[in-house]
Amino acid sequence: MSRKKNKMERLNQSRLLARVKAQSGMDTTDPDIRPPSGAVLANKDELSHNNTYGGLPRFYIDKVVVCRNCGTEEIWAAGRQKWWYEVAKGNINTRAVLCRSCREAKRQK
Q: Does 69 bind Zn ion (CB under 5 A)?
A: yes
* Backbone φ, ψ for residue 54 (5° rounding): -75, 160
Exposure on the CB side of residue 98, measured as CA atoms within 13 A: 9
Other Cβ atoms within 10 Å of 88 Cβ, number: 7
Binding segment for Zn ion among 12-20, 52-60, 71-79, 88-96 (CB under 5 A)? Answer: 71-79
Other Cβ atoms within 10 Å of 4 Cβ, number: 8
**In the complex, least distance from residue 10 CB atom to Zn ion, rounded to whole angstroms:** 16
Q: Does 67 bind Zn ion (CB under 5 A)?
A: yes
**In the complex, least distance from residue 29 CB atom to Zn ion, rounded to whole angstroms:** 29
Q: Does 65 bind Zn ion (CB under 5 A)?
A: no
Interaction site with Zn ion (CB under 5 A): 67, 69-70, 72, 99, 102
